[in-house]
Structure 1
Amino acid sequence: MIGRHRRAVGIVLALHSAAAVAGLAPPWLLGTIVDRVTAGAGVATVDRLALAIAGCVLVSALLSRYAQYAGHRFGERAVAELREEFVSRTLGLPVSVVERAGSGDLATRSSVDVATVGTTVRDVVPTIVIAGVQLTLLFGAVFLLHPLLGLAALAGLPSIVTVTRWYLRRASSAYLTEGAAAAELTETLTTTAEGARTVEALRLTDDRIRHGTGRITQVWRARRATLALRTVFFSIVEASYPLPVALVLLVGGYLFSRDMVTLGAVVAAALYLQQAIEPLDRLLQWTEQAQRGFASYARVLGVGMVPAEPTGRTATSRGERLVVRGARFSYSGGPDVLHGIDLEVQPGERLAVVGPSGAGKSTLARLLAGIDAPRQGVVSIGGCPITDLDPAERRRRIALVTQEHHVFIGSVRDNLSFAAPDASDEQMRAALVTVGADWYDDLPAGLDTAIGDGARQLGAAEAQQLALARLVLADPHTLILDEATAALDPSTARRTERALAAVLAGRTVIAIAHRLNTAHDADRVAVLADGRITEIGSHDDLVAADGAYADLWRSWHTQADERLR
């Protein structure tokens, strides 16, 4: 980050260095005043030297002010770039990786960790560098006054160096642990808030409170560990500050009694050491803050270390035929949820996938969309493995719409333009009409109506129709509908499915269906049970076969009749 802003960093360092040099003059001038007064100089001489001291203090203050201004400008630019890179890296990750990470972890990294890195870049790095320069100049000035005074000035460094090395060996891992604990707490609070209704409905309030309390305890323990490190570190450092000043006065008194140094030199050396406490204190304090910053930087950069979805592949597909051969899949090293799936879907075909809950229907949909890769076997389109296609090309050709949907904060136009940035207002309105979004007519500002958190809230059915309208605008060749109308009531769902029929014409459609009227209208039906395809064929053929699908069909019809009665 610093390398990309070398000019800005150079200006910051130059200004701080100039301020440090200007700050060296007042102690020397004060020592000169002591020597001149001792030698019998008049008031005029003292006045001139005092004005010189005031001028140096003013120059140092002005240079420090502009150095801080330049440092903050550099820091804000660098952090803005870091945040943009973080978002870009996150969007470049495979969807499955983002899902495993959790929203709480990513929220903590993008907010708390990025802000901590911002403080480190803006304040810590310049402070450490400049404090180092100031200390070098101040101790160098003491050595120039007399080498023995310089050696006495170093008396406090052994204890400071020892405790700093002890602290640094332990701080990094401690702060990483603290950051991870904070992320887990954020994840717990986020998931509990998002599922508040479910928590209340299932009477899980006490359980979630216990879970949250456990996470708070972890944060408390992690912060106590880092606080214990700081307590030892700063106590020893603060105790080390007076020692060199006292020793310089003792050595200086001895040298003065032997006429080896002037009284002004001793005063100047003591003042230099007193002046060195402030940059040394800043250096050590910001060294502690730097550990937080580097731990946060590791968490931010960690996102970039996860392999992104491969881009720029040369693999191309010939045609739109989807083929699954021997596909097996498991989540996070667990048992297989799909067992040797073999399936072919011809271009333009409508395939319905049905089966009981937990059969693996949604997992199969994710494999067909290229979100997950099979543990064994292959999923290909036009003879090319889906995972070998460039992600942008894959998403252009295959679209997955699930029963989970998201309304982005912004206008209706903003939400629709994600699918087709170049779509006109007429195309957006037509897409809404296509999916039967009658509620659009009641919006006060049409496409410019603000929706999402803090604005007009869309119901589950409205949000799902908005997602389907995005699908219409995306215009992919292959559509995978994972119970895409599950949130709609039966009549609205049926109306939406009929409205989509014209859009689906000529496209390959794979529908994960829980309403079997969808299967009835499909060209073929695949029955999935326990991660295996047990039956496949047309609706009429499977009903006539009187197997698992026929049982599902009769059960669904019985339930539908009961609802009508």
Structure 2
Amino acid sequence: MTAGTAGTAGTAGAADTGGRLPIAEPVDVRRAAVRLVRADGRAFTAVLVLNALAAGTGLAGPWLLGRIVDHVRAGGGVGAVDRMALAIVVCALAQLLLARWARYVGHRFGERTLARVREEFVDRALALPASVVERAGTGDLTTRGTADVATVGTTLRDVGPELLVCVAQALFVLVAVFLLDPLLGAVGVLALTPIWVALRWYLRRARDGYLAEGAAGSEVAEILAATASGARTVEAFRLAGRRVAASRDALETARRARLYTLFLRTVFFPAVEVSYILPVAGVLLVGGVLHARGAVTLGAVVAAALYLRQFTEPLDQILMHVEQLQSSGASFARVEGLARAPRAAAAGSPAPADDRIDVTGVHYAYDHGGEVLHGVDLTVRPGERLAVVGPSGAGKTTLSRLLAGVDAPGAGSVTVGGVPVAGLEPERLRRQVVLVTQEHHVFLGTVRDNLRIAEPAATDERLWAALAAVGADAWVAELPDGLDTELGPDGCRTDGSRAQQLALARVVLADPHTLILDEATALLDPATARHTERALAAVLEGRTVIAIAHRLHTAHDADRVAVMENGRLTELGTHEELVAAGGAYAALWRTWHGDGAAVSSQGD
């Protein structure tokens, strides 16, 4: 269980992601795009048909204008000219209506597809093992779920439909020029060569540039989030200068990444703008020569020039959207990259034979760091209350994470009922082991919504009983709407101690076999903390409770005490046995008992 949210903290012992969430390869992005199109294939087909009809009706104007030119040169009557002019107006109106209808259908398709992208992202994010999320950092995951998903949404809702319209128009225009005269069509296409060269130059560099820009943005978000959440620690250890320097470095990297993509655009678009005139000029020059020789009519030359002039507008929109597609393609690769991340254990893993936890020869080291645990051996009996004590940096929090399945040991094993804890499927792990830390979160919604995260089917009676178990029923009853009171910035604000009590109430509702408390009551005052811990112990009678003890009264009340020093388990026994032994625990107890104050050991 993670951070007091009564959620799953299981991991399938997934491969190390190197601290970064993966990025989808281009082939994976294309497959994902095809999958999304197939999911709403009927609407996508309708968009294509409507765009084709709109593009087709748009071709009538230049062709009819060319007919008018030839008709007038031949001495034709005004009546025919009026009829063809009226047909031009009718076709323009039909194109407007069809294009509007196509955009409407396209926008609806885009919104539905965006909803699927968001839902898939949430499902994949929730399926990530806690260890993967923590190593990646909240900044990267948050940026992917907000900025990147929003960029993809803009493409699906706005850019996608516009691009389909423009592509259909451009293709129909080129076909129309070739039908007028193949030679004029060939001249128009050859004149587009500079645009093709500029586009290829841009595409070779754009994807990597936008991926680097996205990664730099994630790094900035991660540093800002970590600094803000740990502001007190930064102040206490006088790390403000180092954090400011790290933020400046990240911002400088982000600035350079943005400048690079800006450089690509400033080269690409001016080159394209200059090249737009080439197809029209080429057709007029060659068409003039051919007309002088009687090879084509003047109307055909005028119509071809108008078509290519008309071609400029959709081509300009296509190239503008190509830039957006590169940005959104990089964002989609980051969003779709979650599909390549390690997953929590799948259903079908073996069930534990009992609730006994065995830690055997465990070694563990964090990424790019030295070994934190060195050959730890420990057995926790079902129903036992075990306190783990020791100085800061001893490995207590690391051990709790391994016991909860948040991380898998580098060597050795951590099993429950003979099954590796890290290999349990999320639902089973959630019922087996709960890890509660001081990092509690109050979700937007009512008090009832916050509690039912742990047990969606819980009745109000169970909710009140859980609140009473942790001493939170009194202040919840005083809220304006009781369980229906909205919490959060726009509702009732909860301080740290109340957030902890809500988290502990979720634990009571989750009703796990094993509860691991790591500073779970750190934000409560000593009297309330002790009352809450004893209330929890009474509610969870018969359950296994492992407490990372930062107040020694917890160790005094435990069945056994485990002493951690320098990543090793150095003492194990009852409170009385360890005090009588005169070792490290006895010295710690004498210091605490003599001062009458709790000795605090911060988590490592």
TM-score (norm 2): 0.90
- Contact 1:155/1:243, CA 8 A, preserved across alignment: no
Q: Distance in 1 between matches of 2:241 and 2:489?
A: 28
Q: Distance in 1 between matches of 2:273 and 2:250?
A: 34
Out of 291-300 and 387-396, give the one that drifted further.
387-396
Q: Distance in 2 between matches of 1:334 and 1:207?
A: 20
Q: Does 1:317 align with 2:352?
A: yes
State the shift of 1:201 in Å.
6.0
Question: What is the CA deviation profile of residues 258-310 of structure 1, one whole-angstrom value per residue up to 9, with x for unaligned ones?
Answer: 22222111110110000000111122121121111111111001112101101
Unaligned runs of 5+ in 1: none
Equivalent AA in structure 2 for residue 18 of structure 1: L
1:562/1:445 Cα in 2 relative to 1: closer, same or farther (>3 Å)? closer
Q: Distance in 2 between matches of 1:314 and 1:102?
A: 28
State the shift of 1:455 in Å.
2.2
- Contact 2:192/2:278, CA 8 A, preserved across alignment: no
Partner residue in 2 for 1:249: 284
* 2:223 alignment partner, one of 179, 188, 196: 188
State the shift of 1:121 in Å.
2.7
Partner SS for 1:374:
coil
Q: Distance in 2 between matches of 1:225 and 1:128?
A: 25
* 2:522 alignment partner, one of 475, 479, 486: 486
TM-score (norm 1): 0.96
Q: Does 1:26 align with 2:72?
A: no
Q: Distance in 1 between matches of 2:330 and 2:45?
A: 26
Out of 50-59 and 450-459, give the one that drifted further.
450-459
Partner residue in 1 for 2:48: 13
- Contact 1:435/1:500, CA 8 A, preserved across alignment: yes
Partner residue in 1 for 2:592: 556
Partner SS for 1:505:
coil
Q: Does 1:450 align with 2:486?
A: yes
Q: Distance in 2 between matches of 1:200 and 1:363?
A: 25
Partner SS for 2:596:
helix
Q: Does 1:176 align with 2:194?
A: no
State the shift of 1:192 in Å.
3.4
Unaligned runs of 5+ in 2: 1-35, 600-604
State the shift of 1:41 in Å.
2.1
- Contact 1:13/1:126, CA 8 A, preserved across alignment: no
Q: Distance in 2 between matches of 1:210 and 1:266?
A: 65
RMSD over aligned Cα, in angstroms?
1.8
* 2:395 alignment partner, one of 336, 360, 366: 360
Q: Does 1:460 align with 2:502?
A: no
State the shift of 1:125 in Å.
4.1
* 2:583 alignment partner, one of 537, 540, 547: 547
Partner SS for 1:373:
coil
* 1:226 alignment partner, one of 226, 236, 261: 261
- Contact 2:393/2:566, CA 8 A, preserved across alignment: yes
- Contact 2:446/2:483, CA 8 A, preserved across alignment: yes
Partner SS for 2:179:
helix
Q: Does 1:370 align with 2:405?
A: yes
Q: Does 1:165 align with 2:200?
A: yes
Question: What is the CA deviation profile of residues 338-366 of structure 1, one whole-angstrom value per residue up to 9, with x for unaligned ones?
Answer: 11111111111111111111111111111
- Contact 2:227/2:234, CA 8 A, preserved across alignment: yes
Query: Between Structure 1 and Structure 2, how many residues are aligned?
Result: 563
1:193/1:525 Cα in 2 relative to 1: closer, same or farther (>3 Å)? closer
- Contact 2:58/2:91, CA 8 A, preserved across alignment: yes
Equivalent AA in structure 2 for residue 440 of structure 1: V
Using CA pairs under 8 Å that are at least 6 residues apart, name the structure with larger relative contact order, 1 or 2.
2
Partner residue in 2 for 1:384: 419
Out of 37-46 and 203-212, give the one that drifted further.
203-212
Q: Distance in 1 between matches of 2:386 and 2:597?
A: 25
Q: Does 1:111 align with 2:146?
A: yes
1:350/1:458 Cα in 2 relative to 1: closer, same or farther (>3 Å)? same
Identity %: 59
Partner residue in 2 for 1:328: 363
- Contact 1:19/1:60, CA 8 A, preserved across alignment: yes
* 1:351 alignment partner, one of 362, 368, 386: 386
Partner SS for 1:431:
helix
- Contact 2:592/2:598, CA 8 A, preserved across alignment: no
Q: Does 1:519 align with 2:589?
A: no
Partner residue in 2 for 1:61: 96
Partner residue in 1 for 2:462: 427
Out of 282-291 and 352-361, give the one that drifted further.
282-291
1:169/1:371 Cα in 2 relative to 1: closer, same or farther (>3 Å)? same
Partner SS for 2:40:
helix
Question: What is the CA deviation profile of residues 224-280 of structure 1, one whole-angstrom value per residue up to 9, with x for unaligned ones?
Answer: 111111111112211111112112111111222222222111110110000000111
Q: Distance in 1 between matches of 2:67 and 2:547?
A: 90
State the shift of 1:562 in Å.
10
Q: Distance in 2 between matches of 1:42 and 1:74?
A: 48
Partner SS for 2:434:
strand
Partner SS for 2:378:
strand
- Contact 1:142/1:269, CA 8 A, preserved across alignment: yes
Out of 160-169 and 214-223, give the one that drifted further.
214-223
Q: Distance in 2 between matches of 1:440 and 1:256?
A: 89
- Contact 2:552/2:598, CA 8 A, preserved across alignment: no
- Contact 2:433/2:516, CA 8 A, preserved across alignment: yes
